[in-house]
Amino acid sequence: MNRRIARTLIWINRIEDWFLIIMLAVMVLLAVAQIIYRNFFDTGVAWIDPSLRILVLWVALSGAVIATRTDNHIRIDFFTRYMSATACKFVQRAVYAFSVVVCVFISWHAIRFVQMEYAYGTEVFSGMKAWVTQLVIPAGFFMMAMRYLMLFISPPKVRKR
């Protein structure tokens, strides 16, 4: 692989990792702040609960992108235990190709969903538009499609268990 591409991928991986770390830290801090407000001051901050719900979506899709990068998604590999290495490699590539198609399909329809939310002007809280918070859905699935495409082009060694 070209060195420039390898360095770019390393930086993309770092950005993804730090993005996930920061979002998880913000989630923990917001949840702890809300607990403190409710238990000690008998009140709460109105925007923390919807923010946490949105952050759960963002963390889930970011984690899915990272799981795709490392090829650690849940898989059912019962039949591959009894296949030859050549057959496993073929099945692995077929699964990656199917995953690319599914992720592109979901990303396309998520784009349409975000466009509808934009047209309707739905607000999540405090004037925050819903479509802004939902951008992670098409972006996340598009990034997963690209990762699966990379795995299809250059698959890792077959893991026999």
Predicted local confidence at residue 25, as pLDDT: 96
Give ∠ CA 146-152-156 in degrees, rounded to 5.
110
Domain ranges, residue 8:
3-153
Is residue 160 in some structural domain? no
Residue 147 lies in a domain: yes
- Is residue 63 included in any domain, yes or no? yes
User: What pLDDT is stored for residue 27 in this prediction?
Assistant: 96
Q: Residue 160: is its pLDDT beyond 60? A: no
Q: Which pLDDT value is given to residue 158?
A: 63
The C-alpha atoms of residue 94 and residue 103 are separated, in whole angstroms, by 14
Q: Establish if 161 belongs to a structural domain.
A: no
Q: What's the structural domain count of the chain?
A: 1
- Work out the end-to-end distance of the chain between its first and last CA atoms, rounded to an integer number of angstroms: 28
- pLDDT tens sequence across 43-100: 888 899 999 999 999 999 999 999 998 888 877 777 777 888 888 888 889 999 999 9
Q: How many residues does the chain have?
A: 161
pLDDT cut 70: percent of the chain above it? 97
Query: Which tokens hold the place of 117?
Result: 């939310």
Q: Is residue 25 part of a domain?
A: yes
For residue 81, give the DSSP letter.
G
In a domain, 46, yes or no: yes
**158 within some domain:** no
pLDDT digits (tens, 9 = 90+) for 28-47: 999 999 999 999 988 888 89
CA distance 69 to 22: 19
